[in-house]
């Protein structure tokens, strides 16, 4: 099997057309191409200095597999849709790397309400800190002019390189528009060094002032990196005269053009691809409750599918802070295969900082000197230095040992083997603790493990959280990219209701329909081709409620003082693949390719090595063992049994009471 971008056993039924799905992570960029019933996948190291480079490098690898040469032109011209997702925004927040934000508040918004308490206050201090100015919009024009200039000068002097204006109260749109006119006169954007100024009412229509302010802050933090890369990538793809524009996969499970996507909706879009794939898995295998962990180089992304629905929030949470948009409930913990592991105050600390793909773990030999769990698994014997990354990258065991000695073994006075065990304890513990914090009820739950680092020690993770069945998708290393193939193109349009009469509702709906018509025209669709879903949302003293809506009459019993709004989700369906192959009775024993010496409970021992591509459907074996394919390696611990089906999906089941089955 070729390893540069290999064709794999397809888990999908015959499918018309060609789809390219790209998931850009902090360490690796994954590419999955579905062409009929053929499926190709590859990985390439993420190039943070130019993210479009790793994208085109990966596409060139796939083209070699399909055409025998890096024929990007033919690949792109023959493709129906290119979907792209990224964890760059997630990683930026996890690692706290982004622009220095300034905040101007006015109206009835006060700093204490926005900053909040606990973790919300800590996040605010990182993103904004003391770069806050308050304006009095009741001032006369000349006085307001002077106050605004002083505020902007103060923010600029404090280091703000992006400013958000948020006014509280029912007249916030009018007041923000007034400030915008003033600021355009005083600080025209065409001048050199002009600081971008964003206005909360232009980001989202939300009557909740604090929520709207936070949504604007998040969007401003994510915007520069997303804009710089996505437009650069689209520009380079257009040079190949692609048939359809690049589609950005969003956290809500839909896709859209770059120019039609707010930055905040790219947050956790990569992990959301994994969640979308998990939703399809749960339906195909009839799992009522599927908890998934997508372990990459920088983060572990956790999501849940229950009764075929991805767990989401109507008002999505980002690091526990409520935003105005619906977001999938994906929690990203700063632990991955490239997370930096070091000793702090006598304890082993994992992440959240990551070495990424460049310079990468020490064993990559690309200049990295920090110890990571990838280095640990290499030294433990789990990883083969000659077959890692499909044989494309030779790992350097001596560099890994040196990094572990410097970061962990030396400071704790341990042997290298003992240091590796302690590193794994901390790494597994952080993943397990993140799962426990995310989902307290794990009864009758299947754990789906994917991402390049997901299968490494998944049996031990499952043991710690109390789960006795695991599913490793056959496309585990690129599963989030694969999940993008199940999304449609869609947009959500929302507007407040300014009255309760039929004419008010009709006017609001007509405005939404016109916005939808223009928006979907830009996506190459008419409304006749789309599915439209309308929702009425109202908020009163008891909280916020949403219900399906149609027609022009508001429901009887709507609270008299409730603030109401209409939203319209407009969906253009795209043809999607469907999964094949189930699990049946075990048909025989897996064929071992030899043995591998690995650390098991602190002791090195020889265990059977099974290569996934060598196995026939239905076979299985018991742990301890190592299961390996081109882009992932899994240590199967004692007490666990694996079985492989025709689509190369792997089921791991724990023996009752941990006893070895015979």
pLDDT at 538: 84
**CATH number of residue 123's parent domain:** 3.40.50
CB-based contact 258:230 (threshold 8 Å): yes
User: Are residues 148 and 126 located together in one domain of the fold?
Assistant: yes
Cβ-proximal residues to 129 (8 Å cutoff; 6+ apart), any chain? none
pLDDT at 8: 60
Last residue of a domain, one of 212, 247, 262: 262
Angle of helix 373-380 relative to helix 397-404, nearest 10 degrees, comes to 120
User: Are residues 101 and 206 located together in one domain of the fold?
Assistant: yes
User: Are residues 160 and 235 located together in one domain of the fold?
Assistant: no
The answer as to whether 621 is a domain residue is no
Cβ-proximal residues to 487 (8 Å cutoff; 6+ apart), any chain? 83, 249, 253, 254, 255, 273, 276, 574
- Percent helix / strand / coil, the chain, rounded to 5: 35, 30, 35
User: Are residues 20 and 133 located together in one domain of the fold?
Assistant: no
User: Are residues 89 and 231 located together in one domain of the fold?
Assistant: yes
Q: Which domain holds residue 532?
A: 489-572
3-class DSSP state of 291: strand
Q: Rounded to whole angstroms, how far apart are CA atoms 521 and 532?
A: 15
Last residue of a domain, one of 245, 262, 279: 262
Q: Mean pLDDT for each 10-residue chunk of the chain (662 residues)?
A: 48 74 84 86 81 86 90 89 82 82 96 95 95 94 93 95 94 92 90 88 89 95 80 80 84 88 85 91 94 91 93 88 89 91 95 87 93 97 86 88 97 97 97 92 88 94 95 90 92 86 91 94 92 89 82 81 87 88 91 94 93 92 93 94 93 75 34
Tell me how many domains the chain contains: 3
User: Are residues 105 and 190 located together in one domain of the fold?
Assistant: yes
pLDDT at 266: 86
pLDDT at 501: 87
User: Are residues 53 and 137 located together in one domain of the fold?
Assistant: no
Phi, psi (degrees; rounded to nearest 5) at 200? -60, -35
* Tokens 């265990």 belong to residue: 607
CA distances to 293, 341, 343, 401 from 406, rounded to whole Å, are 30, 11, 10, 9
User: Are residues 179 and 235 located together in one domain of the fold?
Assistant: no
Q: Rounded to whole angstroms, how far apart are CA atoms 27 and 452?
A: 10
Q: Rounded to whole angstroms, how far apart are CA atoms 232 and 252?
A: 24
**CATH number of residue 70's parent domain:** 3.30.420.40
What the block records as the tokens of 546 is: 């949403």
CB-based contact 584:369 (threshold 8 Å): no
User: Are residues 120 and 40 located together in one domain of the fold?
Assistant: no
The answer as to whether 323 is a domain residue is no
**Mean pLDDT for the chain overall:** 89
Length of the chain: 662
Candidates 556, 294, 335; CA nearest to 427 is: 335
User: Are residues 119 and 174 located together in one domain of the fold?
Assistant: yes
R_g (Cα) of the chain, nearest Å: 26
The answer as to whether 284 is a domain residue is no
pLDDT at 643: 96
pLDDT at 658: 54
The answer as to whether 119 is a domain residue is yes
Q: Measure the CA angle with vertex 220, ends 214 and 221; round to 5°.
A: 90
User: Are residues 53 and 200 located together in one domain of the fold?
Assistant: no
Angle of helix 141-157 relative to helix 172-186, nearest 10 degrees, comes to 70
Q: Rounded to whole angstroms, how far apart are CA atoms 408 and 346?
A: 10
Last residue of a domain, one of 262, 289, 318: 262
User: Are residues 76 and 100 located together in one domain of the fold?
Assistant: no
- Number of Cβ within a 10 Å radius of residue 410: 13
């Amino acid at each position: 099997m070729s390893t540069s971008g290999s064709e794999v056993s397809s888990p999908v039924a015959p499918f018309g057309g060609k789809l390219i799905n790209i998931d850009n992570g902090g360490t690796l960029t994954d590419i999955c191409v579905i062409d009929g019933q053929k499926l190709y996948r590859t990985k390439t190291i993420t190039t943070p200095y130019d993210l479009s480079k790793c994208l085109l490098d990966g596409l060139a690898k796939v083209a070699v597999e399909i055409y025998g040469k890096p024929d990007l032109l033919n690949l792109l011209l023959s493709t129906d849709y290119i979907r792209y997702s990224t964890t760059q925004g997630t990683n930026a927040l996890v690692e706290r790397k982004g622009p220095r934000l300034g905040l101007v508040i006015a109206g009835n918004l006060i700093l204490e309400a926005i900053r909040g308490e606990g973790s919300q206050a800590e996040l605010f201090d990182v993103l904004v800190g003391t770069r806050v100015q308050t304006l009095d919009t009741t001032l006369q024009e000349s006085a307001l002019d002077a106050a605004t200039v002083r505020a902007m000068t103060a923010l600029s002097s404090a280091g703000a390189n992006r400013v958000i204006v948020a006014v509280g109260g029912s007249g916030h749109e009018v007041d923000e528009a007034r400030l915008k006119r003033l600021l355009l006169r005083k600080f025209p954007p065409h001048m050199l060094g002009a600081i971008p100024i964003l206005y909360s009412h232009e980001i989202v229509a939300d009557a909740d002032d604090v929520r709207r302010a936070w949504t604007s802050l998040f969007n401003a933090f994510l915007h520069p990196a997303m804009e710089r890369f996505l437009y650069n990538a689209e520009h380079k793809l257009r040079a190949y005269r692609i048939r359809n524009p690049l589609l950005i996969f969003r956290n809500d499970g839909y896709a859209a053009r770059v120019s039609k996507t707010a930055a905040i909706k790219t947050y956790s879009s990569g992990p959301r691809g994994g969640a979308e794939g998990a939703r399809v898995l749960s339906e195909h295998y009839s799992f009522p409750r599927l908890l998934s962990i997508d372990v990459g180089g920088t983060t572990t992304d956790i999501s849940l599918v229950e009764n075929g629905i991805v767990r989401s929030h109507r008002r999505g949470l980002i690091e526990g802070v409520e935003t105005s948009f619906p977001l999938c409930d994906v929690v990203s913990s700063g632990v991955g295969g490239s997370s930096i592991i070091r000793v702090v105050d006598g304890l082993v600390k994992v992440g959240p900082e990551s070495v990424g793909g460049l310079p990468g773990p020490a064993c990559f030999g690309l200049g990295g000197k920090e110890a990571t769990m990838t280095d640990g698994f290499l030294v433990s014997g789990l990883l083969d230095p000659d077959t890692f990354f499909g044989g494309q990258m030779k790992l350097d065991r001596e560099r890994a040992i040196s990094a572990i000695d410097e970061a962990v073994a030396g400071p704790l006075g341990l042997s290298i083997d003992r240091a590796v065990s302690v590193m794994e304890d901390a790494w597994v513990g952080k993943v397990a603790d993140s799962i426990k914090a995310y989902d307290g009820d794990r009864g009758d739950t299947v754990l789906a493990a994917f991402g390049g680092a997901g299968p490494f020690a998944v049996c031990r993770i499952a043991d710690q959280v109390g789960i006795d069945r695991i599913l490793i998708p056959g496309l585990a290393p690129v599963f989030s990219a694969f999940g993008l193939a199940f999304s449609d193109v869609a947009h959500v349009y929302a507007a407040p209701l300014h009255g309760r009469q039929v004419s008010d509702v009709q006017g609001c709906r007509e405005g939404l329909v016109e916005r939808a018509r223009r928006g979907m025209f830009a996506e190459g669709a008419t409304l006749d081709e789309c599915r439209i879903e309308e929702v009425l949302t109202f908020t009163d003293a008891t909280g916020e409620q949403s219900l399906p809506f149609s027609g022009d009459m508001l429901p009887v019993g709507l609270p008299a003082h409730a603030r109401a709004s209409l939203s319209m989700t407009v969906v253009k369906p795209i043809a999607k693949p469907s999964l094949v192959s189930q699990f049946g009775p075990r048909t025989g024993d897996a064929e071992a390719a030899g043995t591998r010496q690995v650390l098991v409970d602190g002791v090195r021992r020889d265990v059977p090595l099974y290569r996934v591509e060598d196995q026939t459907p239905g076979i299985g074996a018991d742990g301890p063992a190592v299961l390996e394919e081109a882009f992932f390696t899994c240590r199967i611990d004692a007490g666990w049994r694996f079985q492989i089906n025709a689509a190369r999906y792997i089921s791991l089941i724990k023996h009752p009471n941990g006893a070895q089955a015979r």
